[in-house]
Structure 1
Amino acid sequence: MGKATTSTGIHKKPVSVPVQVRAPGPKQTGLHSGVVGDHIGDTAHHGGDDQAVYAYATEDYAWWAAQLGRELPPGIFGENLTTSGLDLLGGVIGEKWQFGSGLVLQVTFGRIPCVTFQNRMAEPRWVKRFAAANRTGAYLRVVVPGSLVPGDRITVVDRPAHGLTLTESFEIYMHDQSRLARLLDAPELPPELLAELRERLG
């Protein structure tokens, strides 16, 4: 969990024009976000190639709006991409999304909530609530650079046979560490996370 920063990139608003997406490089020394023009405040914990783009689903927004009893406009969770009709809960680690523009992104892991996010939401115990709900959204790496175009179609073009979903992987990592070895079935997880898992498993 990262500490709150004075500079944050969580404040996002919808755009109506295409934005360029490319691999940003290493987390702390690269371009930080995969989305050109995007800002990341806490570069120690966010951004880099394995968190180049963050996607959140309108369906999960609707679920949270019902839980919280208030409207949640797109971008309030700080995502770069708000999806509709794409099953993020069942998304498989390593699956590839192709966009009409030619952009290809790959699912890497879910979002671990931080204090900055909690401050943004102004909801009591938000970090624990968000983690417990396991509606994490998807972090993505850039496989083929291109443009994010509002309204563009997303097609899942490759889904690894290991079947480890965002939901299952997050549940194991956060709440069921007796099953940590299952995460090693997904070599598409961020290398930093795989190294941590191997160290913890001995």
Structure 2
Amino acid sequence: MDGTVTAVSSNSVYSFTKPNRDSITLLAGLGVEGDVHAGVTVKHRSRVAQDPTRPNLRQVHLIHEELFAEVGADGFEVAPGELGENITTSGLDLLALPVGTLLRIGGAAVVEVTGLRNPCVQIDGFREGLLKRVVGHDEAGNLVRKAGIMSVVRTGGTVRPGDPIAVELPAGPHRPLDRV
């Protein structure tokens, strides 16, 4: 169930996409050093408008690279960082992880999974029609969000492409991911 980091991205200004970097530094309790979404309290504009004092449960955004192949089959070209994620992964079913899962990344960094990214209409601004590909329904009609997961930094460290990701599941019973 372990995976690999395929890309890392950050941006110091609000924009939908984030440029790829050679490395990013995770700061405990804050997020990605120099990233616009780093901080103890919420930084995403819609969350700030609701209540700027709420804790930031969206410090680090991870997306599975396999999503790019999935939407690519429907004609949507998407590369790492273009959906605003900080860490692009490979070989790891991020969406199946329960709340509280620890991801040990590289030599030192540890993030705790807090929930699902709730895809917004900005995705269609990036590629018209892509939102319908990253939000769908399962066989039972339940809403499925595929645009990655959110996490908070428990232990800081530098993260680079090629770094291994080790999964540590929380004690049961497990809570499935929901939007944060």
Q: With the length of structure 2 as denominator, give the TM-score of the two structures.
A: 0.72
Inter-CA distance 160–43: structure 2 relative to 1 (3 Å threshold): farther
Compare the two structures and name the one with the higher strand fraction. Answer: 2
Task: Check whether the contact 2:112–2:154 (CA below 8 A) recurs between aligned residues.
Answer: yes
- Opposite residue 27 of structure 2, the aligned amino acid is R
- Opposite residue 47 of structure 2, the aligned amino acid is H
Between Structure 1 and Structure 2, how many residues are aligned?
151
Any gaps of 5 or more consecutive residues in structure 2? Answer: 1-12, 38-42, 49-53, 137-143
CA distance in 2 between counterparts of 1:161 and 1:114 reads 31
For each residue in 1:133-181, what CA deviation from the matched residue of structure 2 results, as whole angstroms up to 9, or x when unmatched? Answer: 5213110111111111221100012333122333xx35xxxxxxxxxxx
Identity, % of aligned pairs?
A: 30
Task: Check whether the contact 1:101–1:149 (CA below 8 A) recurs between aligned residues.
Answer: no
> SS of 2:68's equivalent?
helix
State the match for 1:161 in structure 2: 172
CA distance in 1 between counterparts of 2:66 and 2:171 reads 24
Aligned positions of 1:16-165 closer than 5 A: 16=22, 18-23=23-28, 34-40=31-37, 42-45=44-47, 49-67=56-74, 69-123=75-129, 126=131, 129-132=133-136, 133-165=144-176
Any gaps of 5 or more consecutive residues in structure 1? Answer: 1-6, 26-33, 171-192, 194-202
> SS of 1:51's equivalent?
coil
Task: Check whether the contact 2:118–2:145 (CA below 8 A) recurs between aligned residues.
Answer: no
> Which is higher, the Rg of structure 1 or of structure 2?
1
Q: Aligned-pair distance for 1:39? A: 2.4
Higher relative contact order (CA 8 A, sep 6+): 2
Task: Check whether the contact 2:76–2:127 (CA below 8 A) recurs between aligned residues.
Answer: no
Moved more, 41-50 or 132-141: 41-50
> SS of 1:155's equivalent?
strand
- Opposite residue 121 of structure 1, the aligned amino acid is R
Q: Aligned-pair distance for 1:119? A: 1.5
CA distance in 1 between counterparts of 2:87 and 2:64 reads 8
Q: Aligned-pair distance for 1:48? A: 5.7
Compare the two structures and name the one with the higher helix fraction. Answer: 1
Q: With the length of structure 1 as denominator, give the TM-score of the two structures.
A: 0.65
